[in-house]
Structure 1
Amino acid sequence: MATMTFYRSLRIRWTRWIMPLGLIVALFLGWLWPTPGKYLDDTPLQSICIIVIFIISGLELHLESVRDLVRLWPSATLGLLSILFITPLFALALRHIPVDSFVILGLGVFALSPTTVSTGSVLVAQCRGNMPLSLFFTVFSNVLAVFTIPFLLPVLLLGPNSGVSFTLNPTDILLQLTYLVLIPLCAGRIILRPITIVRLWSERHKLFLKLFCILLLIIIPWMKMSSSITAFNKISAAQIFLTAAIGIAMHLSFIAFNWTMALLCCFKPDVTKAVVIMCSQKTLTVGFAVLASLPNSQDGLYAIPIIIGHLVQLVIDSILASRWDVKDKKSARSMAEPTELISVPPA
């Protein structure tokens, strides 16, 4: 039993870190050997990868537990507001930071994105957070973001201080996100999941589907890096470190706001964990889908801040979830220890 628990824990930790390692390898591969990725970037492969990812995400959605969230409507509502409207306001601050336009647009798109599809839920499960609430944030933020991003992006990111020269049509972005995100997600949940054979197969091969989605997600920045290699070679190491520093500041500000909100609202510990992690994380996939709709040939350059932001949030939240887990285990052990009774000799 202990061996099975050890291997299960090892597998969870391994699958958690395979995506950031894969993203780093993809960036280096696209930098060192750009020819294959540059060729594939001229094909519809990026759109196919995003569509398949959201079909699988829809197939794996368990909406049964969401019905039990009626009593948690305050935390669910405040969390959605934080994900979709409050944390995106960081994009306004980016416009006043003296950095290159690719950093402003990349991290700005990342700030506007909904919460992660799987990474956040894994961390919430690790620290014994409220899983139905984390699932609620995943489903509804990714669906609603299709309708909020097209109208928030021009307002928050484009302006005299943004350094971004092109214009955006909200309708074009809305249509792009609808067919890349919303339709595949609904198709996986409404069409494929009710098919018993498909549902049972997906439940037996969860690890395979997770790794397959990670592979598809890694392919996108590899192609983008390859196609933007000329522009990337002009970026200095100082710009990369500055982007990482801004990404750290952005994610820590998200955590600080969501944690403060949870404390002021007196949420229970498991609800607080779900709110802090899920409402502070941003997903790569929707960010890449937004970049695909931008009228610019250097969208691969804009993808680099998104990747850096994702790596930063994964490291920070993994440390946070681990500390919560250790704290809970210590508390459980102290509660389980029997109190020593002082024996009184008989008279």
Structure 2
Amino acid sequence: MSTNGNAMSTKDWILKNFLILGLLAVITFGLLCPAPGEALDEIQFGTFRLPQVAVIVIFVVSGLCLDSISECLQYKALALSIFLVLGVTPLLAWPILHFGQGYANETLLQGLAVFCVVPTTLSSGVTMVTQAKGNVSLAVLLTTITNLMGVGTMPWSVSKIFAASVEIKPSQMLFELLWLTLVPLVVGMGLREVFPVAKSFAKTNKKVLGLCQNSCILLVVLLMTSSAQPQIVTTDSSDLSVALAIAAGIHLVYRVVGYFSATAAMLEPREWVTVVLMSSQKSLPVCVSVMSALPPSLRKHSGLMIVPCIMAHASQLIIDSILAVRWEVMEEKKAPLLGA
């Protein structure tokens, strides 16, 4: 009995940490054996490369899995969150690019800057809001709106990040992101609303679809890592250490900004938790989509650029997992008192 229990707990732990464990595995494999990833990167489906197809699948699944947003219209919390996610947090890209020069590899800094300008997470943020007893419907709506609006804001921001390297036309990148993110997301949402069987399938198989989505992220990271293997292995370890420190610092800065902003707005506890969590997280899948939409001259460096994004993603998952559990315990302690 205890053996079965241990096996189940191990399985649950692996599933819970599937993305982080998978990222460690594919990065290691891509660095040690880059040939398979390089070969897969050459595969095309019409005008789309394999990494782009994987990104499209990620966003179709995201749209398909979005839950009901019927209790989400908390206008003050929603407006504050959108302002923080798309207006305030991207500003951190500027000091990273300017003050980080000379302390870390420029490509690593550019990757961190891209991480700053993308919208909030597609799934992990909502999961943590659920665990922390926040307003889940608000978190879902915020995820949807910021990712839809982000398609319009990111091309301009990314063009500024890479202005010193190569000219990026925001209109051209907007077109790329429309096909890679917005259209698939809307298709997934449409399938869910139009076909009851699709909604039922998504609800019943949410964990399986989540694993599918994460597997597509791992595939893209493998291809990027394999293609950039020579750059990554020759990058100075001190540069990677600085990038890791900045990656963790990004989330801490976002957390402090979210904390004081939500407190100053005098939000209700459930909305306060949601705003603080969602406004301090950034989306790794969207980082992947942005790098897939870069011009070829920059795309060849995407493997090195994605490394600090993975560091930042891991940092926010670790920090927020601890805090989400802490808030959940606090809510559970309050419940008996309220019942009494």
Give TM-score, length-normalised by structure 1: 0.88
Residue aligning to 2:312 = 309
Letter in 1 for 2:323: L
- C-alpha contact 1:116 1:138 (8 A) present in aligned 2: yes
Matching residue of 1:75? 77
The amino acid across from 1:138 in the alignment is: T
Q: 1:109 to 1:130 in 2, by over 3 A?
A: same
Structure 1: any 5+ residue segments left out of the alignment? 1-5, 339-347
Partners of 1:242 and 1:147 lie apart in 2 by: 31
Which portions of structure 1, spanning 4 or more consecutive aligned residues, are displaced by more than 3 angstroms? 6-16, 333-336
Larger mean Cα displacement after TM superposition, 10-19 or 78-87: 10-19
Q: What secondary structure is seen at the aligned counterpart in 1 of 2:17?
A: helix
* 1:62 corresponds to 2:67: yes
Does residue 132 (structure 1) correspond to residue 137 (structure 2)? The answer is yes
Larger radius of gyration: 1
Indicate conservation of the 8 Å contact 1:115/1:138, yes or no: yes
Q: CA RMSD in A?
A: 2.1
Q: Describe the superposition over 1:87-128 as per-residue Cα deviations: whole angstroms up to 9, x where unpaired.
A: 000001112213221122101111111111110011111110
Between the aligned partners of 2:281 and 2:83, the Cα distance in structure 1 is: 14
Of 324, 327, 334 in structure 1, the residue corresponding to residue 327 of structure 2 is 324
2:262 alignment partner in structure 1: 262
The Cα of 1:27 is off from its aligned counterpart by 0.5
- 8 Å CA contact 1:172–1:293 kept in 2: the answer is no
CA distance in 2, matches of 1:158, 1:117: 25
Asked whether the equivalents of residues 16 and 119 of structure 1 are also in contact (C-alpha less than 8 Å), the reply is: no
- Equivalences, count: 324
Is contact 2:69-2:138 (8 Å) kept?
no
**Separation in structure 2 between the aligned mates of residue 304 and residue 178 of structure 1, nearest angstrom:** 25
Tell me how far 1:334 sits from its aligned partner: 4.8
Alignment partner, residue 142 of structure 1? 147
> Structure 1 residue 173 and structure 2 residue 169: aligned?
no
Q: Is the 8 A contact 1:38 1:223 kept in 2?
A: yes
| CA gap 1:13/1:130 in 2 versus in 1, 3 angstroms | farther
Cα distance in 2 for residues equivalent to 1:264 and 1:220: 40
Q: CA deviation at 1:268?
A: 1.1
Q: Which amino acid aligns with 1:111?
A: C
Q: Which residue of 2 aligns with 1:342?
A: none
2-structure distance, mates of 1:42, 1:116: 29
Name the structure 1 match of 2:88: 86
- Match among 45, 50, 53 for residue 55 of structure 2: 50
Letter in 2 for 1:321: A
**TM-score after normalising by structure 2:** 0.90
Q: Map Cα deviations across residues 155-190 of structure 1 (whole Å, 9 max, x no partner).
A: 3x245xxxx421211011101110000000111112
127 and 11 in structure 1: CA distance in 2 versus 1, 3 angstrom threshold: farther
Question: What is the letter of the counterpart of residue 87 of structure 1?
Answer: T
1:134/1:278 contact within 8 Å kept: yes
Q: 1:83 deviation in Å? A: 0.5
1:208/1:119 CA distance change after superposition, 3 Å: same
SS at match of 1:69: coil
Give the CA deviation at 1:131.
Answer: 0.5
Identity %: 29
